Structure 1
């Protein structure tokens, strides 16, 4: 499916000629919660196989109208593949589109060019990331001609924003929303004190809010928020949630992130019937979501892996949950 061709029935939009800060994701995240906020993270679809439309899942998720989309690069994808998805979503959906920007492997000049391209496309939401160490290593290798910390990426976005969009001085939302990563203490060997310091640096560089890495225990989210607040970090922290429907995908996610999948979850999903496994996975995901929302989480960032069935089931649950809450409020007021 050509990226320039909107799906049937989709709303055809043109990226805004001027910035409207009220439509950025940072405003959505910080707004008083009257309903659950959810974003869908997608990546460039792989080429079609056996007659399947590689864009179909993204199209179905777009029709469901989440609060915003997040577009990552994907693994082993050609240069610019993520830009094609961003351009397509900006043209065919009313939802804001957040672009992932990774400094690993790029010079400062190349990153500046990437930011400029995104802003010229109409992107006003950027997730600023350092990225993994180059060449599959475990330790970060200093990049003399590039950036070495996510806080530096935030600073560069703000510089280009100032040059390209000339935001007004004084109070008010900036034209560009910048989010960053946060890491719950989820049983990994990460240095959590260093992670908190890095999050503080990103806040001071101009970040608007944070999105967590995947976690499976709501107490990990609560501990991250409590630790951040004790260190003077006031950024809203959105929960990064993976649908718990595929044991194979969860094992792969553990390999990538180092976050161990709880044994009780593995056992719960260990059934032969695929439909029952999916039902159990959706139920476990919804239980996790309900708990973090009760903890005051400002929003949910769903790692969809371009799989629409669990993403849409979760979105339906949240909308039913919100409708039930509104109905209770009406009864209570009466």
Structure 2
């Protein structure tokens, strides 16, 4: 695969991938990854479940991207429900694999356990996780001059999530999330990626408020292609972010003569909405677009094509 360096003024493009949960899903996953890598993204983030059940698979995906592609992999790291020792071990594991860029997330507490409490010796927030990442990296540098030199050439980069309309799970408002992002910046993060949103003001209003509060790090716009009404409803269940009722009704109404969903028409209408959203936030000054792919390359690529950001190579 030929390596192409994007023009420095081009908005960034990046994708989120979820490691395949079953061996039989791996071929389709890697075909999706190949299609996305061919667009020369600035990075691909690889999710890591809050329970840690896909730890080995996530590490394998990140290692393969590191070794076999020109794309920067960003390893998700969650801490909810895990002890400090366990999280440190996971960090060591990723650092051993050569990972230098992380997305530090608290993760979601189990929703089916109303009496659940985090462990007393756990890492209880993304801010604590950011500090632990830097502590583990510093420990490794102190133990080995060679490691310290290599780290000097590849500094640790840490991103965090931010919630432009507030975090439904945490019960926070936009103003509280702005203050939280400022705390994350002070803890040493490099940039933030927003949770998905459906209206341009969600992003522009949040960034304006964050800048007024003193946030200076880049805030990357996270967007989901709105092509599948079932997925949008599932995402609402998981995140609390409500899709536009009018868009859902329109997508639901696109039917074939036999009454089944017209998936091609839904795809076209959903991409139209997503392109308008992405273009609006790019026009407002967003540094780039981070696409939540759900391991589907076609909607992601059509979205980027719609805003003129797709460049592929064989």
Q: TM-score range by the shorter chain?
A: 0.7 to 0.9
Q: Which of 74, 80, 94 is the equivalent residue of 2:56?
A: 80
Q: Which runs of 5+ in 1 are unaligned?
A: 1-8, 12-22, 323-334
TM-score normalised by the chain length of structure 1: 0.79
Over 3 Å counting, the alpha-carbon distance change for 1:187 and 1:108 in structure 2 is closer
Q: Does 1:261 align with 2:236?
A: no
Equivalent pair of 1:181/1:213 in contact (CA under 8 Å):
yes
CA deviation digits over 1:19-51, x for unaligned, max 9? xxxx9xxxx9xxx96112111100112336699
* SS in structure 1 of the partner of residue 227 of structure 2: coil
For residue 228 of structure 2, what is the aligned residue in structure 1?
Answer: 246
Q: Which of 66, 82, 85 is the equivalent residue of 1:109?
A: 85
For residue 272 of structure 2, what is the aligned residue in structure 1?
Answer: 283
For residue 45 of structure 2, what is the aligned residue in structure 1?
Answer: 70
Over 3 Å counting, the alpha-carbon distance change for 1:67 and 1:79 in structure 2 is closer
Q: Does 1:89 align with 2:78?
A: no
For residue 193 of structure 1, what is the aligned residue in structure 2?
Answer: 175
Equivalent pair of 2:43/2:74 in contact (CA under 8 Å):
yes
* Counterpart-to-counterpart distance in 2, 1:244 and 1:277: 9
CA deviation digits over 1:165-199, x for unaligned, max 9? 4668xxx9971110011111269553333322321
* SS in structure 1 of the partner of residue 14 of structure 2: strand
Equivalent pair of 1:244/1:281 in contact (CA under 8 Å):
yes
* Counterpart-to-counterpart distance in 2, 1:209 and 1:298: 11
The count of aligned residue pairs is: 293
Equivalent pair of 2:46/2:74 in contact (CA under 8 Å):
yes
For residue 214 of structure 1, what is the aligned residue in structure 2?
Answer: 196
* SS in structure 2 of the partner of residue 180 of structure 1: strand
Over 3 Å counting, the alpha-carbon distance change for 1:229 and 1:83 in structure 2 is same
Equivalent pair of 2:100/2:154 in contact (CA under 8 Å):
no
Q: Does 1:127 align with 2:116?
A: no
For residue 157 of structure 2, what is the aligned residue in structure 1?
Answer: 177
* Counterpart-to-counterpart distance in 1, 2:140 and 2:269: 48
* SS in structure 2 of the partner of residue 184 of structure 1: coil
TM-score normalised by the chain length of structure 2: 0.83
After superposition, the CA RMSD in angstroms is 3.0
Q: Which runs of 5+ in 2 are unaligned?
A: 142-146, 256-261
* Counterpart-to-counterpart distance in 2, 1:51 and 1:128: 25
CA deviation digits over 1:222-266, x for unaligned, max 9? 111122122222221101111111100000000000011111211
Equivalent pair of 1:36/1:319 in contact (CA under 8 Å):
no
Q: Does 1:150 align with 2:126?
A: yes
For residue 47 of structure 1, what is the aligned residue in structure 2?
Answer: 22
For residue 4 of structure 1, what is the aligned residue in structure 2?
Answer: none
* SS in structure 1 of the partner of residue 45 of structure 2: strand
* Counterpart-to-counterpart distance in 2, 1:283 and 1:139: 43
Equivalent pair of 2:233/2:243 in contact (CA under 8 Å):
yes
